[in-house]
Amino acid sequence: MRFSLIICTYMRPQPLLKLLQSVSSQTLYPNEILIIDGSLYNQTQNTLEENNFKGLKYFKVQEEDRGLTRQRNYGIERVSELSDIVCFLDDDVFLEPDYFDQLITTYSEKPDALAVGGYITNEVSWDLSDKKNNSSKFYFDGWMRDEPSRFKMRRFFGLLPDVNPGFMPSFSHGRSVSFLPPSGAIYEVEQIMGGVSSYRKEVFESFKFSKYFEGYGLYEDADLSLRLAKTGTLYINTGAQLEHYHDSLGRPNKYHYGKMVIRNGWYVWRIKYGNPSLKATLKWHATALLLTKIRLLNILTTSNKKEAFLEGLGRVSGWFSLIFNAPKVK
């Protein structure tokens, strides 16, 4: 299969360079690499001109095309007609040498796949299951990891998700794909992470990344995934491995981020559940407020008290804004 790689970047020349160096070491190399640069200066362009990467095409976008979802759509429109698969990577990840080999092979192993996501390895520690059903652990498919404190609190209040990781329960707030273990297995999901994703090219004849998600674009991947999952099957291949370093450059301030967590989270919930039940609605709000309280309590437990305060305040603001100005779901 022929495949294109799109990397949308914003003022991160050095992380981007490290990513491209890991792409150069792949056992299966992209047929083309499209860099869609929304930076406000020329340092990224200069860095790429100083380094040669096979098949690389550079595009510097203007204000009307700047922002993660707009840049992705800009790249999609410029993908080669010969490509079968379109891959996306965040500009602050680093790939294992067989990442693309594992990812692209999935489409042959799972012919029904509309999209396949990769697997981040450096954010969670997993062990083989001890089979003790310890409440401080999360168990899945013969593996276990520490249960985060927010899920322990949710268990106490009866707000745990009742579906597998990568699926959205009726009141949203499910377990992300980071709750899938590094087993090397391929798991069916309905949500994949946009920054480590791939899609059959024909998907984009009917689907685009939503313009609702401006700038940083939090949960834009969940939005597209949930819409796409209504028409077919999505997978995560935990053998397609990479590391994500969450570079701080180009990210929104914590107040704005906290507000986005609530408002964008509400939006993608309503993408899947346009008319949720009263029970699901109450559980959505209860979970959102509980997680907001936990974030505010981090002021007492973390060294970065300012970030915890600003994000918590943003979440409170975002929740109140839903009462008077909820996002319009199209």
List the chain domain ranges.
Answer: 3-121+182-244, 254-325
Tell me what pLDDT residue 250 has.
61
pLDDT for 246 beyond 90: no
What residue type is 192 in one-letter code?
Answer: I
What residue type is 201 in one-letter code?
Answer: K
What residue type is 124 in one-letter code?
Answer: V
Tell me what pLDDT residue 215 has.
63
Look up tokens 């276990």; give the residue: 144
Q: Which residues have C-beta within 8 Å of that of residue 242, sequence separation ≥ 6?
A: 22, 89, 93, 94, 95, 96, 99, 118, 119, 120, 121, 196
What residue type is 162 in one-letter code?
Answer: D
Question: How far out from the chain centre does Cα 306 lie?
Answer: 25
Q: Which residues have C-beta within 8 Å of that of residue 169, sequence separation ≥ 6?
A: 161, 162, 163
What pTM was estimated for this model as a whole?
A: 0.93
The DSSP H or E segment spanning 322 is helix 305-325
Tell me what pLDDT residue 213 has.
84
pLDDT for 249 beyond 70: no
Alpha-carbon gap, residue 32 to 27, rounded angstroms: 15
Return the CATH number of 3-121+182-244, one of 3.90.550.10, 3.40.50.720, 1.10.472.50, 3.40.50.2020. Answer: 3.90.550.10
pLDDT for 248 beyond 70: no
Beta strand segments in the chain, E: 3-9, 32-37, 56-60, 85-89, 93-95, 113-120, 126-128, 137-140, 143-146, 186-189, 196-200, 233-244
- Mean pLDDT across 122-151: 96
pLDDT for 314 beyond 90: yes
